[in-house]
Structure 1
Amino acid sequence: MTIVKGVGTPQLNPTGSLKFSGYDWRVRMIASVKGGLNNLYDPENAWTDASGALHMQIKKKSDRWSCAEIFLNRSLGYGTYSVTVRDTSHLEPAAVFSMFTFDEWATDQHFREMGVEVGGRHDSANKNNARDEIQPLYIPGNLFAFAAPSGTLTYALHWESGHATFKTFRGRSADAGGQLVSEHEFTSGIPEPGKAILRLIFFAVASDKNPMQKPSEVVVEKFEYLP
């Protein structure tokens, strides 16, 4: 469960739960501001099918868009994190999938947040629809945009002391000789693990030109972690 800070006794927010790729995950149930919108989260928007793949949806609920977010129930620390995601070229322009680290206790360290986002059009002039990033984004060099092609892709983050290397490969495994699509290494402002937990989120962003029009879904075939 997530601790809410405030005056008085800390309260625990309710969460759902699921198993995916051999790990226990919590499922977000409360709203949060993400992508410039106050997104709702519905545990029904995240589930695994008979093959073990994770489905995450954005769909209407009470005339508002409800999204999906899951997070590991423990911190894994340094290592290599990767997710294999089926084709996302069909997504609504305002729909974004992200794998990122987050430590809700580290308010003075930008929540140890870093990750990869895919979907939407962050840089339509250059057709870049994905980006690797480290918070805070106002620091030059903390964002690297790239074009994620259609088809199944594997997104990987290798996190070690002083280094965070993001790689994107075509296909279902970074270890099977898949074609490298993008690679970027950050060497400044890299957070230490602390209590950071990996999260997967599929959410709607604020967009005047291309707001959400219809439901969207991403399918994550697997998650892997190597220490």
Structure 2
Amino acid sequence: MNLSLVNKQIITGYLLAAFLLVFISCASSQENDELPIVNSTRIINFSGYEWVVRTTDEGKQGPGPNYFSDSEENVWVDDDGRLHLRVVERNGKWYCSGVILRQSYGFKKYVFYVSSRVDNLDEDLVGGLFTHITDDEEIDIEFSRWSDPENQNSQFAVQPSFKAGNKERFDLDLDDNLSTHFFDWKPESIEFASYTGHTLTPEADAIVNTWMYTGENVPPHTDERVKINLWLFRGASPANGIGGEMIIDRVEIY
């Protein structure tokens, strides 16, 4: 047998195997850009995007900790395409709600058009619009009085929010259900704003609050996800005894 021919075949085999390995690795990397779907996953389509509906089954998880349910009683999209998140009681347990965007978008402007009175949420409820990588790499717009009825009801925050300069609290005082909130996430800064009405070109009296963050905790773009949730602070039962709801008309990312 011609040894030179054998060696060429062996080398060709090694090169083919290496090519296949690289191809499979690249394909896997591309697939990791989206959260995987398994049989138990509930996926909803909202505002032109796919979202995973969060569930903790019968265990509690953070934030809170709380029970999160993917029941249609907790999370649904109505006939007008609006997302509803509810905190409800079933069989003596309070179930919170949340959705997670399947795809990571990185440094972008994230706009949330809210269609409910998030300024009037129960004092123990927290409504969150945010990106999350880890608990210390997170950008938050949150509506809550944090179990103190005397607290202001809204905040912009960059985690860790306990650090000086990483949080801006304010009062959102609405006349109707409509408000607009965004953060514009860039490598060295994050611009936040909240307006009354559904607009990105507000009149002066519609500007509730704006904030520019340029501190050291701007998160990197790695594999973050946009999340929207409604949960109970420290897992406490709502003071009003009936829970609450947050409605999002649409989300824009650009």
Report TM bin, short chain.
Answer: 0.7 to 0.9
Give deviations 1:75-123, integer Å, cap 9, x for gaps: 01111101111222442111111111112xx57xx2x211110133577
CA 202–210 in structure 1, closer or farther in 2 if over 3 Å, else same: closer
CA 129–137 in structure 1, closer or farther in 2 if over 3 Å, else same: same
| 8 Å contact kept, 1:91–1:119 | yes
Q: 2:42 aligns with which of 5, 13, 16?
A: 16
Give deviations 1:146-179, integer Å, cap 9, x for gaps: 0011231111000001101110011012146572
| 8 Å contact kept, 2:119–2:153 | no
Question: Matched residues in 1 for 2:193 and 2:106: separation?
Answer: 18
The Cα shift of 1:2 comes to 6.7
| 8 Å contact kept, 1:81–1:158 | yes
Question: Matched residues in 2 for 1:199 and 1:138: separation?
Answer: 21
Q: Larger Rg: 1 or 2?
A: 2
CA 138–176 in structure 1, closer or farther in 2 if over 3 Å, else same: closer
Residue 48 of structure 1 corresponds to: 77
Between the two proteins, the alignment pairs up a number of residues equal to 210
Structure 2 unaligned spans of 5+: 1-33
Q: Find the residue that maps to 2:164 and give its secondary structure.
A: coil
Deviates more, 1:183-192 or 1:210-219: 210-219
Whichever residue aligns with residue 212 of structure 2, its letter is E
Q: 1:69 aligns with which of 81, 98, 119?
A: 98
| 8 Å contact kept, 2:44–2:50 | yes
Whichever residue aligns with residue 64 of structure 1, its letter is K
Question: Matched residues in 1 for 2:222 and 2:125: separation?
Answer: 30
Question: Matched residues in 2 for 1:209 and 1:57: separation?
Answer: 14
Q: 2:210 aligns with which of 164, 183, 189?
A: 183
Residue 6 of structure 1 corresponds to: none
Q: 1:95 aligns with which of 113, 121, 125?
A: 125
CA 201–51 in structure 1, closer or farther in 2 if over 3 Å, else same: same
CA 29–207 in structure 1, closer or farther in 2 if over 3 Å, else same: closer
Q: Find the residue that maps to 1:206 and give its secondary structure.
A: helix
Question: Matched residues in 2 for 1:13 and 1:91: separation?
Answer: 34
| 8 Å contact kept, 2:42–2:53 | yes
Whichever residue aligns with residue 95 of structure 1, its letter is L
CA RMSD, 1 decimal = 2.5
Residue 132 of structure 1 corresponds to: 156
Whichever residue aligns with residue 95 of structure 2, its letter is S
Give deviations 1:3-25, integer Å, cap 9, x for gaps: 9xxxxxxxx79431101100110
| 8 Å contact kept, 2:183–2:193 | yes
Would you identify which runs of 4 or more consecutive aligned residues in structure 1 move more than 6 Å?
207-210
What does 1:197-216 correspond to in 2, within 5 Å?
197-206=225-234, 211=239, 213-216=241-244
Q: 2:143 aligns with which of 91, 102, 118?
A: 118
| 8 Å contact kept, 1:128–1:147 | yes
Structure 1 unaligned spans of 5+: 4-11
Structure with the largest fraction of strand: 1
| 8 Å contact kept, 2:126–2:144 | yes
| 8 Å contact kept, 2:195–2:202 | no
CA 13–144 in structure 1, closer or farther in 2 if over 3 Å, else same: farther
| 8 Å contact kept, 1:98–1:200 | yes
| 8 Å contact kept, 1:67–1:203 | yes
Q: Find the residue that maps to 1:201 and give its secondary structure.
A: strand
Structure with the largest fraction of helix: 2
Whichever residue aligns with residue 221 of structure 2, its letter is P
Give deviations 1:40-91, integer Å, cap 9, x for gaps: 1111211100000111100012311101100110101111101111222442
